[in-house]
Chain A
């Protein structure tokens, strides 16, 4: 027994080396650097311990506050829509009909497209002169054409649309896996009791789908805190910081401006936000499983 335990550690070792060097150490190092003042373009200043100063600056930085609001707004609008659309697609894919396999493959297309490609594609769709959106809204009436990516509100909406389009398939697949784990007998029993389709959906499907929905919610939330490619390509955080989400702001401070300490404080904030949301969902997921098991 002891020997197989030792063997297990040897098998884990190579994987652990990668993970330790490129995930665990970096997260601890980001935490440490967030208490230092360090500016890449002014190397002679070195590293100076400043305590909570970076966080105090962050709390009073209006751009950071706006970035937090933008990020929360982004999550709050996109994720419910993704889950709703994902649920709809999953319900259709869960039916038996000819061409279902083909439809399932088609649904994977937005997922398979590189995010940078999707970003350029939607940037062109929202283009102020050659864009499909303008053409569909105004046809040949070119004088009415809009420049959505140059307008603060429309730019954020445009990025939200691109994000929803790109990530709905993933939500649909998770929900579909949940749908397929619901036993047919339950629907048959409900039919025997004279339940309508809506009643079956409301009282059989939805309650049993709760774990899958929560899991999709967890994955999507954690992932949408990482939104970067769309913002980088479509708007660079503009116009007037209207699409400046936290991950992009952290990137800008750290890599474009070289403010390592301040950038790390933003990075740690995003991390804590992600961790908090993940823990809340995992807690909900666990309690929903307990209830399901009758505990």
Chain B
């Protein structure tokens, strides 16, 4: 009985800690203009949607959302495709090279962004890829490959070699064996890797800020960080845009929490 009460107390505390700040921001987005500027602040709003309308109409929110979807979806597809090839080699042809490559990916994943930012900018400038979707996507693919490859390789190892060997004997090439046999059987791993890459690309700010200087191609995080406001910040619109940017991620996280938890701790358990 004492244990149950203590657990309930701790659980409640943890839930409040995790939720209160964001819930308050969501409530802020639902205030009316006068409720927003009330001092002291009003906790419960009267559920107005005027800030959402204003964010969509006056600040071009839809445009940022579209850019984010294009960039995050492309980065996810390319990373999973390229990462699957590498992960297959790591899982199946175990050799000095594949082992070395895995270690290289691990080392790269620890690079501070600032240590590569300048030259990445210069390369994209030479390619004339600054302010283009493919420029930001290429950078994201490189940044996400270590994590995606690591997750995919852990899942590929669990696919029984026998099924694949049967396919090879039946005349499949290695590449066919990968996408006809291994990929379908490792679908949960692909979903996990895809989700983590998508969330990363949807949230990333630093590279988006330096690569996308033209508002027409900027992603949501850049739009939210650079919300115009010289003297008074448009807090209602910022809160509305933030809520819209976050809700899809929270939904994805709630639906796929098992996969995400497994993906995030894959490195911890195996490493």
Chain A residues in contact with chain B, CB under 8 A? Answer: 4-5, 7-9, 11-12, 14-16, 18-19, 21-27, 29-30, 33, 88-89, 92, 95, 97, 99, 101, 103-117, 119-122, 124-125, 127, 129-132, 134-135, 139-140, 142, 165, 169-170, 173-174, 176-178, 181, 212, 215-216, 219, 222, 225-226, 228-229, 232-233, 246-247, 250-251, 254-255, 260, 263-264, 266-268, 270-271, 274-275, 278
Residues from chain B with a CB closer than 8 A to the CB of A111 are 253
Residue of A nearest to B108 (CB): A23
A225 touching B112, Cβ below 8 Å: yes
B114 touching A173, Cβ below 8 Å: no
> A95 and B257 in contact (CB under 8 A), knowing A25-B119, A25-B123?
no
> A124 and B235 in contact (CB under 8 A), knowing A15-B85, A19-B145, A109-B250?
yes
A115 touching B111, Cβ below 8 Å: no
A24 touching B108, Cβ below 8 Å: yes
Tell me the bound Cα distance from A212 to B115 in angstroms. 27
> Does chain A have a CB within 8 A of B1?
no
> Does chain A have a CB within 8 A of B179?
no
> Does chain A have a CB within 8 A of B97?
yes
A104 touching B257, Cβ below 8 Å: yes
Segment of B9-17, B51-59, B159-167, B185-193 engaged in the interface with chain A: B9-17
Residues from chain A with a CB closer than 8 A to the CB of B66 are none
A228 touching B206, Cβ below 8 Å: yes
B24 touching A132, Cβ below 8 Å: yes
Q: Which of B93, B119, B120 contacts A5 (CB 8 A)?
A: B93
> A114 and B202 in contact (CB under 8 A), knowing A97-B4, A271-B111?
yes
Shortest distance from the beta carbon of A60 to any chain B beta carbon, whole Å? 21
> A173 and B145 in contact (CB under 8 A), knowing A89-B14, A121-B242?
no
Shortest distance from the beta carbon of B88 to any chain A beta carbon, whole Å? 6
Shortest distance from the beta carbon of A63 to any chain B beta carbon, whole Å? 16
B138 touching A22, Cβ below 8 Å: yes
- Give per-residue flags for B100-133: 1 if the beta carbon is below 8 A from chain A beta carbons, else 0: 0100110010111111111111110000000000
Residue of A nearest to B121 (CB): A255
A30 touching B115, Cβ below 8 Å: yes
Q: Which of B39, B149, B203 contacts A130 (CB 8 A)?
A: B39
> Does chain A have a CB within 8 A of B142?
yes
Q: Which of B86, B112, B225 contacts A270 (CB 8 A)?
A: B112
| Most central of B4, B222, B246 by chain A CB within 10 Å | B246
Q: How many B residues touch A, CB cutoff 8 Å?
A: 89
A112 touching B120, Cβ below 8 Å: no
> Does chain A have a CB within 8 A of B44?
no
Residues from chain B with a CB closer than 8 A to the CB of A21 are 123, 138, 142
- Give per-residue flags for B128-170: 1 if the beta carbon is below 8 A from chain A beta carbons, else 0: 0000000000110111010001000000000000000000000
- Give per-residue flags for B241-271: 1 if the beta carbon is below 8 A from chain A beta carbons, else 0: 0100110011011100100110011011101
Beyond the given pairs A117-B224, A177-B265, A267-B114, 17 more chain A to chain B contacts, judged by CB atoms under 8 angstroms and listed by A's residue number, are A7-B174, A8-B95, A9-B97, A11-B89, A14-B82, A29-B122, A105-B254, A114-B249, A116-B224, A117-B246, A120-B225, A121-B22, A130-B38, A219-B267, A232-B209, A263-B118, A271-B111
Residues from chain B with a CB closer than 8 A to the CB of A109 are 18-19, 22, 250, 253
Residue of B nearest to A177 (CB): B265
Residue of B nearest to A277 (CB): B110
Residue of B nearest to A124 (CB): B235
A11 touching B88, Cβ below 8 Å: yes
> A11 and B85 in contact (CB under 8 A), knowing A22-B142, A130-B39?
yes
Tell me the bound Cα distance from A27 to B109 in angstroms. 12
> Does chain A have a CB within 8 A of B74?
no
B101 touching A12, Cβ below 8 Å: yes
Residues from chain A with a CB closer than 8 A to the CB of B174 are 7, 11
Residue of A nearest to B140 (CB): A22
Residues from chain B with a CB closer than 8 A to the CB of A233 are 225
B14 touching A106, Cβ below 8 Å: yes
> Does chain A have a CB within 8 A of B220?
yes
Q: Which of A8, A92, A112, A116 contacts B225 (CB 8 A)?
A: A116
Question: What are 22 contact pairs spanning A and B, CB under 8 A?
Answer: A11-B88, A15-B85, A19-B104, A26-B118, A29-B118, A33-B118, A104-B261, A113-B250, A114-B202, A114-B242, A114-B249, A121-B239, A124-B238, A129-B39, A132-B21, A134-B40, A173-B265, A216-B268, A228-B205, A247-B113, A254-B114, A270-B115
B112 touching A22, Cβ below 8 Å: no
Residue of A nearest to B269 (CB): A177
Tell me the bound Cα distance from A99 to B249 in angstroms. 21
Q: Which of A24, A121, A135 contacts B40 (CB 8 A)?
A: A135
Tell me the bound Cα distance from A7 to B117 in angstroms. 33
Residues from chain B with a CB closer than 8 A to the CB of A24 are 108
Residue of B nearest to A251 (CB): B114
> A92 and B123 in contact (CB under 8 A), knowing A24-B108, A27-B111, A135-B40?
no
Residue of A nearest to B122 (CB): A29
